[in-house]
Amino acid sequence: MSIPLVLVLAIVVVVAVRFLKLRLWMALVCTVFGFLLAATALAPDVDRGLRALWSWLTGS
């Protein structure tokens, strides 16, 4: 990946807040949820799932 996934997701959140009427508090709740999820035992499974999805989307 040339662009980190975090940067892509940040752009998606900014677009959603500006154009899709996503409330800022909703974006913050999702951010906190992601931060807390990363500290759980489920984090490696989420990481593997995201890597598999990325591999499937890019065909590599």
Please give the Cα distance from 6 to 10 (Å, whole number). 6
Q: Would the pTM count as exceeding 0.95?
A: no
Nearest to 43 by CA among 17, 51, 30: 51
pLDDT on residue 20: 92
Tell whether the model's pLDDT for residue 59 goes beyond 50: yes
State pLDDT tens for residues 3-27: 787 788 889 988 998 999 989 899 8
The CA angle 14-9-6, to the nearest 5 degrees, is: 125
